[in-house]
Amino acid sequence: MGHRLDEIDKRVLYYFAVNARNTATSDIAEEMGVTPATIRNRIDQLEDRGILRSYLADIDYKSIDGYITYLFRCTAPIPDRTQVAQSALDVSGVVTVQELMSGSGNLLVTVVGADTDDINHVAGELSDLGLRIEDESVMQGEYHRPYDPFGPETVSKGPSLTDFMSLAGDAEVAEFSVSEDAEIAGKTIEQAVDEGHLSPDTHVVGIEREGDMLTPKGQTTFRAGDIVSLLSKAPFEQGSLGAFGTPRK
């Protein structure tokens, strides 16, 4: 059973996700109107409950001369998925393993090596564990951010993703709800494109408003609460749909 969090717990998790190393309990305490001792107690409780699990360094291995980072998408037998995931983490060169609740491609394994021989060696050991490697690619970048709803009101709230699908080739379809005070609210589709809020390669293919489906046209206006279906010929770029969320105050 999951644990219920109050606003103090949420704020602790938010600031630790921003920067665990430089988060001062006194700053959180002042914002929440409690004592630093209360914040320290909450941190201890979050750790004891297994919610705040560790403080990991964010290392960009590709910035180190001679090292490459690969992402393997693997399939493990569902009954053995957790056990195999833990075994994969013991393979030298593996730095993270993510377990997904899916039939195929249910483990994402991040591997660091000095050269392709290192990567191939790790791939062999993963196969020996019973993993089927479905896909592999060089990682170009990895980006993190805290969960906005746990943050203060002054933090920008991103658009709410309600559905996502990858299509043949690089095309993607995504559904976003338009947040209150979003930059795009009150603008027509044409204005959104002209002002750079939407890429010319992104097409609005549907808008659901108060239970009704609208046929999007150039003069159709986005409203807060709309659920907008977007089709992109290329993968959506990081932060490319920020105009659907609430801007930073």
The Cα-based distances of 194 to 26, 30, 84, 201 in angstroms read: 45, 43, 50, 13
| Residue 159 clears pLDDT 60, i.e. is over it | no
User: Which pTM value belongs to this model?
Assistant: 0.59
User: Rounded mean pLDDT of 42-69?
Assistant: 89
pLDDT number for residue 248? 46
For range 67-81, the mean pLDDT: 93
Domains in the chain, start-ordered, CATH in brackets? 7-48 (1.10.10.10), 61-138 (3.30.70.920), 156-244 (3.30.70.1450)
Return the structure tokens found at 69: 């980072």
Give a three-class secondary structure readout of 175-205. Answer: EEECCCCCCCCCCEHHHHHHCCCCCCCEEEE
Question: Residue 144: its pLDDT value, please?
Answer: 77
Residue 1's pLDDT is 52
Give CA–CA dist 196/241, Å, rounded. 10
Angle of the 25-32 helix axis to the 36-48 helix axis, nearest 10:
110
Burial of 188 (0-12, 13-18, 19+ CB in 10 A): middle
Q: Express as a percent the part of the chain with pLDDT over 70.
A: 87
Between residues 186 and 158, the one the model is more confident about:
186
- Give CB contacts under 8 A, 24+ apart, made by 54-63: 55/16, 55/20, 55/21, 58/144, 61/95, 61/112, 62/139, 62/140
**Lowest-pLDDT choice from 50-59, 103-112, 116-125:** 50-59
Residue 70 has pLDDT above 80, yes or no: yes
Residue 236 CB partners (closer than 8 Å, separation 6+): 172, 174, 202, 230
Three-class secondary structure of residue 122 per DSSP: helix
pLDDT of residue 43: 94
Q: Is the pLDDT at 156 greater than 70, yes or no?
A: no
Instruction: Give the C-alpha separation, 158 to 141, whole Å.
Output: 20
The yes-or-no verdict on residue 46 having pLDDT over 80 is yes
Residue 238 has pLDDT above 60, yes or no: no
* Sheet containing 227-232, strands listed edge to edge, beginning at the edge strand earlier in sequence: 160-166, 172-177, 227-232, 202-209, 212-214
Q: CA of 163: how far to CAs of 159, 172, 227, 232, in Å?
A: 12, 11, 10, 14
pLDDT tens for each residue of 17-35 = 888 888 899 999 998 888 9
In the chain, the N- to C-terminal Cα span, in Å, equals: 36
pLDDT of residue 245: 64
CA-nearest of 240, 209, 249, 211 to 225 is 209
